[in-house]
Structure 1
Amino acid sequence: MSAADVAAALEDARFDARQDSRHEHLADDERGRAELAEWERIDQLLADAAPDTVYDPGIDAVVQEELAAEAAAAAVTEAEWREAQRIAARADELQALRELGTLEQTEPREGDEAARDELTRRAGGYVQADVDAWLAHALAAHLGHYRDPAAREAAADLLPVSLLTHAALLTELARLVPAADTGQLAFTARLAASEPEAAAALAAFLTRARSVQD
């Protein structure tokens, strides 16, 4: 755009602003004010440039920064959408495994904490006891991605206290009675859910007792 084109556009924006000011419902039109401010900025940009300089948004630093910010925001939105789709698909898969009765034989993957939350959300906030028990067992036995110490550490911020307490109890009882199976230790889930503080205290007591014996 030439300086004359920009000046004409600026005058049109000023005219529109004057018209809007006469109407109460348009007086606070932020879009109109932003458009006027932008034309004023471009007009000043050309006024400060060499004679006969034309306006090119491709080399306008402000415009390019805005476009870059919009592209970055769009990329974030796209990534969030893809992640939501992945979580929903994994939640569907876990639900299918539950219905087939094979959830306990499945190793957890990275991100299953979010899939657990999705299942809970779908159930209207109802705690999915079987999913929680599955994750607690996997966490205690270091199955799937919980083989990685960093994943187990991250789980402390991703899973509810009752589930973490359940896992801690399973860990200590498995060390105390290595031959015990999940059925024999089913009571730990009920204890962790109904008396989380007492369950945590018991897990801590067993940990201290084991350290003394060692």
Structure 2
Amino acid sequence: MGAHRAQLLTAAPQGTAYDPGADAVVQAELAADAAAAAVREAGLREAARIAARADELQALRELGTLEQTEPRDGDEAVRGELTRRAGGYVQADVDGWLAHALAAHLGHYRDPAAREAAAGLLTPPVLVHAALLAELARLVPGADVGQLAFAARLATNETEAAGALAAFLTCARPEGC
């Protein structure tokens, strides 16, 4: 910026005062700084939102009421925060909760666009678990989540095989693949 200002002052008539408000380069730099600050602030607000939701889901998990809670937009990022904080023992519970919600179209997963977006935000085992749950629920409509706990183990330990099973069950329906 200093070289630019020197060029402006050299080219200006004698006695002209430098006005940063009229300097397009300075104004562009100020606008870029303001935009960068707004992006940083938005990032901080989003991190705070994720942390608060992670606290909420962790408390619900500890109370044993996580399964009664519907997921919200952004809970996929909260999953990552919970995993970072507490590791795998929380991840399995949250993954199962998200898979069930995705399979049953609960919360924001009622929206097909949210389900489609989840495909890019959740891990393959969670997505396969959801697909397997959805197909098993079609086969045995009255089955509860506890009866289908094996689906989580299959999806986690044998993701590819569980995905193939979900696809096979989809094709076994009268309407087919």
- Confirm or deny a common fold (TM above 0.5): yes
The match for 2:73 among 110, 118, 128 is: 110
Deviations 1:22-71, CA, capped at 9 Å, x for gaps: xxxxxxxxxxxxxxxx4332222123234432111111111110010000
Mapped to 1, the partners of 2:4 and 2:157 lie a distance apart of 64
- Provide the residue aligned with 1:68 in structure 2: 31
Count of aligned pairs between the two proteins: 177
Task: Flag structure 2 segments of 5+ consecutive residues without an equivalent.
Answer: none
Mapped to 1, the partners of 2:27 and 2:21 lie a distance apart of 7
- Provide the residue aligned with 1:193 in structure 2: 156
Deviations 1:83-127, CA, capped at 9 Å, x for gaps: 000000000000000111100011011111111110000124666
Which portions of structure 1, spanning 4 or more consecutive aligned residues, are displaced by more than 3 angstroms?
124-127, 211-214
Shift of the 43–212 alpha-carbon distance from structure 1 to 2, 3 Å rule, reads closer
- Provide the residue aligned with 2:138 in structure 1: 175
The match for 2:56 among 93, 97, 105 is: 93
Deviations 1:171-200, CA, capped at 9 Å, x for gaps: 111111111111111110001011000000
SS in 1 for 2:46: helix
Shift of the 67–137 alpha-carbon distance from structure 1 to 2, 3 Å rule, reads same
Q: Is the 8 A contact 2:100 2:130 kept in 1?
A: yes
Task: Flag structure 1 segments of 5+ consecutive residues without an equivalent.
Answer: 1-37
TM-score (norm 1): 0.78
Mapped to 1, the partners of 2:165 and 2:99 lie a distance apart of 16
Mapped to 1, the partners of 2:104 and 2:60 lie a distance apart of 20
The AA in structure 1 aligned to 2:97 is W
State whether structure 2 residue 116 is matched by structure 1 residue 145: no
SS in 1 for 2:15: coil
SS in 2 for 1:183: helix
Mapped to 2, the partners of 1:211 and 1:81 lie a distance apart of 50
Mapped to 2, the partners of 1:127 and 1:94 lie a distance apart of 10
Q: CA deviation at 1:211?
A: 4.9
Q: CA deviation at 1:146?
A: 0.2
Give the RMSD, CA atoms, in angstroms: 1.6
Identical counterparts, % of pairs? 76
